[in-house]
Structures are given as structure tokens and as C-alpha cells.
Amino acid sequence: MRKVSIVAISLFFLTSCETAQLNRETVTAEENSVAESLFEDIQLSVDDNAKALNDTSAVDSNGVVIKGDSLCPCVEWTPNWVGLSNFLKFPKTITIDFGEDGCEGQDGRIRRGIVTGTFSNWPWVRNARLDIVPEKYFVDDYKVEGTKSITYRGENLSGNRNWDISVVDGVITTPDGETILWESERNNELISGANDWDPWNNVYSITGMANGTNTSGRDYTAEIIKALIVKIGCLYVTEGVLEIQPEDLKVRSIDYGDG
């Protein structure tokens, strides 16, 4: 997500205390973005590796998978649905072990620890839920704790498929040992690209809000005022408005434009 840019026109007249407060204002937006990015990362880890399990040749007789073209080439996957007798059973669980020494992915990020995903049903079934829990999991030395849940809600009144996405008890520990607390409740609506097999032309409308505490101990809320539009092929927000309200400070608005 974009970071807030604050221009201090009267910089000459600011005291050192006021300058420190100004810096904290940008920290809130930046750390909200960090938390969001890291919890998106654990979802992608489960999604990418679960999809790769369609290659049954990568699964040994014990259900352990080591596949070189995964998100991280040294990752080990352990699904619990290997074999015909288990294929139709739910819940299904996949454990993704990045090891203890650090595993460099194709994106250049270093991951270590374990991520577990539990599927309640087939992903196209209404109210099917995926719960993702990290265990001693780090991305580039940022520790990620908490539970992320994705629930498929089927088609809404507009006829678009949509998902409720939540993060509960999110804790990010920075490489310096500082702590970010973060929780989120959002809805992702697929508004374009649903009728073909090309995921890269999908467009999502995202609504909802988040709340947290930054490394300075300041509580804040982040609310989507105008739906954020994300084009998967672009990977950036192309329109929408996000407002961040740090405790006892002014609201800052991040305007992504109109597409």
C-alpha cells in the first residue's frame, strides 16, 4: 500500500518535540502497511503451495512434498488429504515448513518457521473457510503471529463472488524487537474477470477497516472510505480512499485516485 507523505511547510518553526510527533504520524501508516503486507504473505504461501499440490508426482507415499518451483524452493509441504480415502474428507490441513535456517523465495524474501492452513470445505462452497496460523514464522526477520481467516460468501446482491477476510490477534515483531498489534475485517468482492480462466485480469473491490497499535504505543484505526480497487495484473491499488486515525492526532487520508 502507498505510504503517507506529509509536507511540513512551516518546518522552520517546528520544535524538536513537534518534529518527533510528525514522524510518528507517518509511522502509523507505514506500520499498518507492513502488517497488511505480512498477513497477505502468509495467505499467498498457503494458496500457492496448496495449488501446487495438484501435481501429484510431487507427493511421496507419506504425503510429504518437496518441490523446487514452489514459493520457496526448499519448502516442505505436508497435506493430510493424500490418498483416495482422504480426498473427500474435511477439514483438510496443509503444513508448510520453511525450515529454521531461512528459505529464500522467488520474490527474494527470506522465510522461516511454519504456516498451517485448514480448509473447512471446497473453496467454491458457500461459507467455506480457510484458517491460517503461523508458528515461529518470520519474513525477513519480522515475526508474524495471529490467525487469518478467509470465508467464501458466494454471490452478493450484485451477482459478484465475495470473501470476508479477517485477522485476529495479529502481532508483528520487528527485527529490532518492537511490536505492532493489528486486527482487520474486510470484504473482497470480485467485480471483473470472473467469467474466464485468466486470474491476471481479475479486479477486486475491497471494503472494511483495521485497527492496531504502532511501535510507539499509539492506537489507531484505518477505515476504507471509498472502496479500494485492485487489479491483480497491476498488483497496486488503482483507486479508492483510506483514512487512518491515530489516537489524539489528525486523520490522514490516502487517496489512490480514480483509476
DSSP characters over 90-157 = SSEEEEEE--SS-EE-TTS-EEEEEEEEEESS-TTSTT-EEEEEEEEEEETTEEEEEEEEEEEEEE-T
Model confidence at 42, in pLDDT bands (50, 70, 90)?
very high
In Å, what is the CA distance from 25 to each residue of 9, 10, 79, 184, 248?
A: 16, 16, 43, 20, 11
Pick from 50-59, 119-128, 202-211: least confident: 50-59
Rounded Cα distance, 224 and 219, in Å: 17
How many domains, the chain?
Answer: 1
| Residue 36, pLDDT above cutoff 60 | yes
Give residues with Cβ within 8 angstroms of 257, minimum separation 6.
238, 239
> Which pLDDT score is estimated for 145?
98
> Which pLDDT score is estimated for 153?
98
Residue 180 located in a structural domain: yes
134-158 mean pLDDT: 97
Is pTM beyond 0.85 here?
A: no
Cell of 186: 474486510
Peptide bond into 79 cis (omega under 30): no
In Å, what is the CA distance from 68 to each residue of 77, 79, 100, 116, 223?
A: 12, 17, 18, 20, 40
Print the domain residue range for 56: 11-258
242-257 mean pLDDT: 92
Cell of 190: 470480485
Residue 51 located in a structural domain: yes
Model confidence at 236, in pLDDT bands (50, 70, 90)?
confident
Residue 5 located in a structural domain: no
Rounded Cα distance, 197 and 217, in Å: 45
| Residue 129, pLDDT above cutoff 80 | yes
pLDDT, one tens digit per residue, over 49-97 is: 666 555 544 445 454 444 444 456 667 767 666 666 677 889 988 888 9
Compute the mean pLDDT over every residue in the chain, rounded to the nearest whole number: 82
User: By the 8 A CB rule, do 246 and 25 touch?
Assistant: yes
| Residue 3, pLDDT above cutoff 60 | no
